Structure 1
């Protein structure tokens, strides 16, 4: 039996330049968007909720898992691409860096983790989870950068920001657990 695997990116966060990015939490808007998804019942077949170790992803996963009565498994290596070399960047500077990150996947841009390495890492983590062949659908909760790299991998596409999620986060794509066939590209979580 083939189950559905969904990769969901955390929605809006509280941006605080004085706090390391991995410790940012969900904003009230992000929490409300996540709560709204739990009311639809469309994730009822989900038996596993797997989260990155970053606070914003854990908060997203915990809201969903609590409503479904399942535990959250945290996998630290599902974190966003490592950008600690630069820390917080203002939006315009961040966007320029992200363009370079995706545009030069074999190069470390200003000390950021290389896109190719981040892709290998996220694929390895997801494949480890899926190799357990646990019955039921799987919800992976993470981040836009590595989520895009994962989407590119399973879609057979080269690393390119053209395949990035829509702005604002809180988006998901889905693929089959067996055969890893992409069912659809990025959609906003309100479309769950």
Structure 2
């Protein structure tokens, strides 16, 4: 049987400029999307779920681990690109910085972690998760590092054109070939049980 790796980003979050971004949780829409996937998605083939230690990723992983009857592992190194130098940025400014993060991967944008460093970190974390899991696995994480991982696995240069179209998207990798089977898809397109 083919081993698969699914990478799923957390869906919509409760934005609060007074709370550090890693501590943001899912909002009602995001939580409802996760519940729907847990209730209707085909999660039976997943042997283990790995999550970033950020609250929104854990809130995505926990119901899915329960539905899949799979152990959940928290891995700190799966966190989103480190943007603590700027903290919360209003959406237009954030999008401008994110564009620069992907466009200049060898540079730190206003103190943000460099894209090449974030990519090396998420690739290393993913390799560890694969090595420590017998069977298929699900990683719950974030759009920025997820896109960096996708670019690496697809053999593409770092480019924001490969980014998901909003939170709550996934891609699937065939571990026999090490290549993605498809690009980002909304979690509602997950195969049904």
Give me the TM-score of the superposition, normalised by structure 1.
0.96
Give me the TM-score of the superposition, normalised by structure 2.
0.96
> What is aligned with 1:149?
148
Q: Quote the Cα distance in structure 1 between the aligned partners of 2:41 and 2:78.
A: 26
The alignment status of 1:40 with 2:74, answered yes or no, reads no
The alignment status of 1:130 with 2:130, answered yes or no, reads yes
Unpaired segments ≥5 residues, structure 2: none
Q: Quote the Cα distance in structure 2 between the aligned partners of 1:133 and 1:63.
A: 19
Q: How does 1:104-115 map to 2 (within 5 A)?
A: 104-115=104-115
Partner-residue secondary structure (3-state), 2:140 = strand
Task: Please identify runs of 4+ aligned residues in structure 1 that moved more than 6 A.
Answer: none
How far apart are 1:47 and its partner, in Å? 1.0
The alignment status of 1:186 with 2:184, answered yes or no, reads yes
Structure 1 vs Structure 2 CA RMSD:
0.9
Is contact 2:43–2:67 with CA below 8 Å preserved after alignment?
no
Q: Quote the Cα distance in structure 2 between the aligned partners of 1:152 and 1:129.
A: 18
What is the total number of aligned residue pairs between the two structures? Answer: 190
Q: Quote the Cα distance in structure 2 between the aligned partners of 1:64 and 1:21.
A: 22
